[in-house]
Structure 1
Amino acid sequence: MRVAAISAFGPPEVLRTAEAVEPYAGAGEVRIRVKAAGVQPFDCKARAGLIPFVKSAGFPLVPGNEFSGVVDQVGEGVDTFAEGDDVLGFGVLNGYAEYLTIPADQIVRKPDTMPWDIAAGLSGNGQGAHMALRELEVGPGDTVLINGAAGGLGTLAVQVAKAWGATTVIGTASKANHDYLRELGAVPVEYGVGLADRVRALAPDGVDAALDSAGGDGLRALAEVTKDRNRVLTMVDVDTAKELGLREWTPVRSAARLAELVDLYEAGRLTVHLRATYPLERAADAHRDVETGHGRGKVVLTIG
């Protein structure tokens, strides 16, 4: 089978297509014929050797932790899925491949109305947004601030917060993405120096909860304008969070979370904006795209 893999850690160009042996489903697993795979910042960090537990996984290493595809093999003990089921799911590695095996409790059924590329781009950032906003106890009446609101995670966080009843969602983004955020139902505010003052102009009494997906000075501004610092979380900048005395947390993905997101999609309350799609052979270009850090929405690899 074809994969996009690395044989050494490094910049995007170390990610190349190669041939690999097809996997087979073990007990409790299914094999997926992959149609598409999302590209996440985590994948880029794994490729660069910046994820400690990934560094011991050995080479060749195939990134990719969110995917969509068709079940084509069912392992012993699995009775929740059958060959031919359309699914989407999550793992840690091995998504950039024509086939992967995955525990059956890490996939959910894909609705017929959900395209393969959209399905591939939902799980990682969608669950990240879901986990963080649940941890922050976002609900009806809240004013929520999302730092990096036009990116893959931020786009979904805006929509989930609105779906859960937040009265106002303020999203930081470059000016080029302000109209896009308005379309999602957010109030846009520009990044950079003076962010805290610009947020206060929109929310004079402060915000109820804040989620950061950009880090640095933006996270400092979030901590400054949030009424209760216990309701500030970052997805990317642990060092600054520690410096500011913000809460620590351990996110846990699950099929139940993913199923909730699928339900929101089917109800018309959640969309996945695709920034770009690339064929498997251009996985390195997809990583370069993600690493620009200022794009709008998701990057996805098309495979099957």
Structure 2
Amino acid sequence: MNSTARNKLVTNAKKERAEGRRSKICFNQLKRFPRNVAKHFRGCFFITLSALKLKFAKTIIDLSCVSVYNYYSDSSALNGKENKSNNKVVRDLQMEHLEEYKNIFDKYGGMMRTKELQKEKIFYPKLQYLIREGSVEQVRYGYYQWVDPDDFSEVGTVIRLFPDAVFCMNTALFYYGYSDRTPAAWHLAVSKDSGKSRFHIDYPFVKPYYIEPKVLLLGTTKVNMDGHEVCMYDKDRLICDCLRYRNKMDKEIFNKAIQSYIKDSNKNIPKLLEYAEPLRVKRLVKDLIGVWL
């Protein structure tokens, strides 16, 4: 092969290398060329092979992009189905009256637990719609109450969460005017056999007092607080409790409570002495209050 033919082959190989195509020259032809020319063509071959690898990588990327597009297309389709399902629930609820759901909640005192919702066939989609609309709110895990737009007090929530509790201590002192400090938490008297975990909640703030069952309901009365009828200790039982927990009370609150009771024209001393005996504070009543009478 003359030099003109070799130069032509070298020129063609350079063009193929620039265009990124495989060289059509086989290795049998390379063996007949001088070593320096064969070495040149081997370099062209490896450059072409690298170009093919790049092409392969680009193909993989393209396939990945197609897969991602298909995935998001499928997700959009699923979201579309979910939106259609949610729209169906909304339409169903719009067709029905919210008053019907309010009546169901009223059957349970305005607050329902998860098992009660399932019993009344108020399932998750409808419940979530009612929550988004502001008709229902979750007060703690598994407890949902109907929202009264005209009631801004926590009293309703407290009596629904703890229907067996009696309002006592600082809460009762503030209600009767024996204290001018607004309690930071709701003070509730419950049976000592009551479960402790149900009071471990973030809202509303409550402080339980665990009382012996035999004296739990001693001296209870019904009062109206923020438009709700609640169970609370009367003034005479309240003072007996203050004497029982005097070491745990703020001294200023304790002294003001005792002085306010002594000045109260509606106090009932016979009841005070009657309550003092089972509560084991009869001696304290005589020592701390009897001297002022």
Q: Give yes or no for TM over 0.5.
A: no
Q: Greater helix share, 1 or 2? A: 2
Normalising by structure 2, what TM-score? 0.23
**Greater relative CO (CA pairs within 8 A, separation 6+):** 1
Structure number, greater radius of gyration: 2
Q: Greater strand share, 1 or 2? A: 1
Normalising by structure 1, what TM-score? 0.22
